[in-house]
Structure 1
Amino acid sequence: MRPQLTPAQAAGYTRSQVLRYVGSAGAERDDPWTPEPLDPARLVPDYVVGSGCDADGVQTAVNLAIAEGRTGRVVIGIAAGTHAGLVYLPRGAARFTLVGLGDHPADVVLSENIDAEMSGTEYSAKFGQSFAQAHASVRSIHDRIAALDTITTANASVIRVEADGTQLVNLTVRNTYNCDRAQGGSDDRNAAGQFTTGQHQAVALLVAGADRVQVQNVALKSFQDTLYLQSPTRGETVRSCFTDCDIEGDVDFIFGQSTAWFARCTIRTLTSRAAKSWATAPSTDIRTRFGFVFHDCHFTHDGHARPGQFHLGRQWFEGVRATPFGLPDISGYRVTIGPTSAYHAPVGTISLATLNAVGKCVILHSRIAGHIDAASPWDAWSGNTWNPRHRPVLYRAADMLSPLADWLRQQGQSYDDICPDTIFLGEYGNSTA
């Protein structure tokens, strides 16, 4: 099914509308944001990163700015070359602009190897020294991650943006992790040495609850979970704007809870590893106005796609352990709303935050290549066959509220404020490419 918007519906998905609201789902503030195009030639660096410059690493320049008490906009120019190391931009008085000083994004590469299955001990051994002399606001991020048994997806990024108003311009962010960490005893690898199954999240850019993040002419490269757009807390949204960017990966490689506008971006599916791929995995709250909106973008692949195995996206049923959807095939299966999502067969609970993580994505005036399954561009969560974590594709609110009506009444939940025709997934004016 390819849900098409009407012209009137599509008219509501302009950049100014999508980026206008911020805050708690259902009670968002009207806070217009219209980011202006950035001209790298007019961005005068406060610090320059590179051999013989102000700092020998991007994080060193960030640390200098914080230590010197910089406030307002701080521009960090990055010389051509490959720059290793993690970059953490903490919330504080400074708003950071990272600008590549090369002619093209490929000239300036921020690169590191980090993945979600890394232990806290391994993380600290590998990166601890680079944060040892950092300001407390940065060092505390490292220390918190290092204390974890496994660092998880939310801490496995090359760049971590917590500072509101961050700008990234004219550079490449690459997570070099190659899906080569053994998991679960399986040794099923492809010719590139990549495991074809398992959890191999490795984030290039994590927007960790920051608002008004502007990313322009930037390449983001990884495999699974390349770009993570994280809300400050579940049910609260912030905004990011991506223009003229190149984003690639194979599994759920643009995902998260917050609102984001993508214009003139190339969304490239890599086909070397995953038997099935989803470009997006939004987890937008049901009462948040907008999730991911793509305008004049190009959904393409690396030239080796297998038709029918790739999708525009699936709605991330975030944290689900037991589902109220579908017809269970487990004797005595039952699920109720609880404080957390859990499952101890045959009884489970689902939190309201998980239930409300419906995922919203609209694609407008874009070119969609033939690798995307034309008949089913949107996929179910956790497969089309029922299992305890299953959820079907939800194109609009009625697809959730109608089948769950009796169950929701039994749980004492009302969604009378939600119009059944509220759009979750939609397309308008797209063409094949």
Structure 2
Amino acid sequence: MRAPRGRIVPLSGVALAGALTATVLLAPGASAATTITVAADGSGNFTTVQAAINSVPANNTAAVTVNIKPGTYRGVVTVPANKPYVSLIGTGSAANQTVLVEGHAAGMTNPSGGTYGTSGSASVFIQANDTTVRNLTMSNDFNEAAVELSGEQAVAVNTSGDRVEFDNVRILGNQDTLLVNAPSASAVRRLYVRNSYVEGDVDFIFGRGTMVFQNGTVHSLTRGSSSNNGYLTAAATDINNKFGYLFWGTTLTSNAPAKTVYLGRPWHPSGDVNARGQVLYRGVTMGAHIRDDPWTDMSGFSWKDARFTEYSSTGAGAAVNANRPQMTAATAAQYVPTAYLAGTDGWNPIR
């Protein structure tokens, strides 16, 4: 999100730490827009990303750009629901130079009480609408091989805001890496992921939100199995929501053996019978790791009751058979990125 151009005046009402002073850029007739710099070495306004977000006034109505200098920033980052219009931008020359990371897992003890649980294990929470994340890495580095827990789900990103954009980001984890969330079954929350990379093994893109993953790479990590190395998706799209996940022009890669990874399985949170996952792989290049029977059941629910389809897949892992429903050309005309993201307000971030 670009701040309006105009005259520069000092930022008021926000206490800033560090050597630099944030500024407000004003355009005639426009609301104030703020730019804040985060640098671990103290050369910015703040040394942590969360401190920068905390400085944003609640219910702000103007663009806030948080420029994050290269470095590794450990600690949970939350963009709360009452702070929309925030952009988190890595300022390095590549996304891997700026890393937001934490290592919580579902079964770990939460200092606030109980355990984190799956959704609470995230390293980054995007709860606000109109949030943009660009040119950085979001990671959960919990090591499931080194620590045994009853719950090893370890989310890197939990996004429940609407009109959220990820551009040139890396999202790293193992089980349950990216939670495409929504606050309720009836709520539609949209995420647009462009030119990005996500990796994991089990159900590593999951939830009941709506997502377009355009271009970029989805990488399946091997679990050392000769037959089952996990599932890319576990969609829980409500039956009343036409659109779940669209993978468009994306490449599927893996270090797992051939024909050992599933495209997905249907997640029914708390046994919700109205969760009928919708997933379409369209114009996707599939590596040899994808199984010939790429959809499977989950927790007693049949994948055949979900809305799982492909259209124009290519690559060594692509095939057409009775276990791989194909969308017709006539239906595919309705399932394009703009349709997934339009909602009722006509949102169109595609460029």
Q: TM-score range by the shorter chain?
A: 0.7 to 0.9
More helix per residue: 1 or 2? 1
**Partner of residue 155, structure 2:** 203
- Secondary structure at 1:252's aligned position in 2? coil
Secondary structure, aligned partner of 1:431: coil
Would you say the 8 A contact 2:124–2:156 is kept in 1?
A: yes
**Secondary structure of the structure 1 residue equivalent to 2:63:** strand
| 1:120 CA drift (Å) | 2.0
Work out whether residues 56 and 83 of structure 2, in 8 Å CA contact, stay in contact via their aligned partners in 1. Answer: no
Secondary structure of 2:304's counterpart equals coil
Structure 1 residue identity aligned to 2:297: A
- State which of 291, 315, 322 in structure 2 corresponds to 1:432: 315
Structure 1 residue corresponding to 2:252, chosen from 289, 295, 299: 299
Seen in structure 2, the aligned counterparts of structure 1 residues 83 and 90 have a Cα distance that, compared at 3 Å, is: same
Aligned 8 A contact 2:105 2:151 in 1: no
CA distance in 2, matches of 1:365, 1:222: 25
Q: Distance in 2 between matches of 1:273 and 1:284?
A: 30
Paired residue type of 2:37: V
Deviation, structure 1 residue 232: 1.3
TM-score scaled by length of structure 1: 0.62
For 2:265 and 2:116, the matched residues in 1 are separated by 24
Q: Which runs of 5+ in 1 are unaligned?
A: 1-37, 122-145, 184-197, 321-353, 382-388, 397-423
Q: Given the superposition, is the C-alpha separation of residues 93 and 109 from structure 1 closer, same or farther in structure 2, using an over 3 Å criterion?
A: closer
- Partner amino acid for 1:359? G
Show CA shifts across 1:87-138 (max 9, x none): 01111154210000001101111111111111122xxxxxxxxxxxxxxxxx
5+ residue gaps, structure 2, are 6-24, 26-32, 317-351
CA contact under 8 A between 1:284 and 1:360: conserved in structure 2?
Answer: yes
Question: Structure 2 vs 1, CA of residues 70 and 285 (structure 1 numbering), >3 Å: closer, same or farther?
Answer: closer
Letter in 2 for 1:394: K
- Aligned position for 1:56: 47
Q: Is the 8 A contact 2:276 2:305 kept in 1?
A: no
Kindly indicate whether the alpha-carbon contact (under 8 Å) linking 2:221 and 2:229 is maintained by their aligned counterparts in 1: no
Distance in 1 between the 2:305 and 2:288 partners? Answer: 22
Q: In 2, Cα distance between the equivalents of 1:112 and 1:159?
A: 8
- Residue 228 of structure 1 aligns to a residue in which SS? strand
TM score, norm. by length of structure 2: 0.76
Residue 81 of structure 1, CA deviation = 1.2
Please say which structure displays the higher CA radius of gyration: 1
Report the equivalent of 1:74.
64
Q: CA deviation at 1:276?
A: 3.1
Aligned to 2:234: 281
Q: Deviations over 1:278-301 (max 9, x none)?
A: 001100011111000110001111
Is 2:140 the counterpart of 1:175? Answer: yes
1:90 equivalent in structure 2: 80
* Aligned-partner Cα distance in 2 for 1:393–1:79: 44
| 3-state SS of paired residue (1:59) | helix
- Tell me: higher relative CO, structure 1 or 2? Use CA pairs within 8 A at least 6 residues apart: 1
Separation in 1 of the partners of 2:109 and 2:294?
36
Give the superposition deviation at 1:245: 0.7
Partner of 1:35: none
Identity of aligned residues (%): 30
Instruction: After TM superposition, give the deviation of residue 219 of structure 1 in Å.
Output: 0.3
Q: CA RMSD in A?
A: 2.1
Contact 1:66 1:94 (C-alpha < 8 Å) held by counterparts = no
**Residue 242 of structure 1: how far off its partner (Å):** 0.4
Name the SS of the counterpart of 1:394 in structure 2: helix
Answering whether residue 119 of structure 2 is matched by residue 154 of structure 1, we say yes
Contact 2:223–2:229 under 8 Å retained in 1: no
> Alignment partner of 2:115: what SS?
coil
- Contact map agreement 2:223 2:230 (CA 8 A) in 1: no
Distance 1:224 1:45 in 2: 36
- SS of 2:136's partner is strand
Q: Is the 8 A contact 2:84 2:131 kept in 1?
A: no
Quote the offset at 1:306 in angstroms. 2.2
Q: How far 1:73 moved relative to its partner?
A: 1.4
Residues 1:207 and 1:294: Cα distance change in structure 2 (over 3 Å): same
Deviation at 1:150, TM superposition (A): 1.4
Question: Per-residue deviation at 1:317?
Answer: 2.2
CA drift at 1:66: 2.8
- Counterpart contact for 1:395–1:426, Cα < 8 Å: no
Q: Name the CA distance, whole Å, in 1 between partners of 2:109 and 2:224.
A: 24
Among candidates 255, 260, 272, match of residue 211 of structure 2 = 260
Q: Secondary structure, in 3 states, of the residue corresponding to 1:290? A: coil
Whether contact under 8 Å (1:226, 1:249) holds in the other structure is: yes
- Match in the other structure for 1:380: 297
Report deviation, 1:379.
Answer: 1.1
Secondary structure of the 1:65 match is: coil
Equivalent pairs counted in the alignment come to 284
Give CA-to-partner distance per residue, 1:144-185, whole Å, 9 cap, x none: xx24x11201111111011100100000011110113323xx
Alignment counterpart, residue 131 of structure 2, candidates 149, 161, 166: 166
Alpha-carbon distance in structure 1 between the residues aligned to 2:84 and 2:34: 14
Q: Counterpart of 2:135 in 1: which secondary structure?
A: strand
Question: Matched residues in 1 for 2:123 and 2:224: separation?
Answer: 21
Structure 1 pair 99–217 and aligned structure 2 pair: CA distance change class (3 A):
same
- Using the TM superposition, give the Cα deviation of residue 70 of structure 1 relative to its aligned residue in structure 2, in angstroms: 4.6
Does residue 46 in structure 1 map to residue 54 in structure 2?
Answer: no
Distance in 2, matches of 1:85 and 1:367, equals 35
Q: Measure the CA separation in 2 of the matches of 1:377 and 1:357.
A: 20
1: CA distance, partners of 2:84 / 2:303? 41
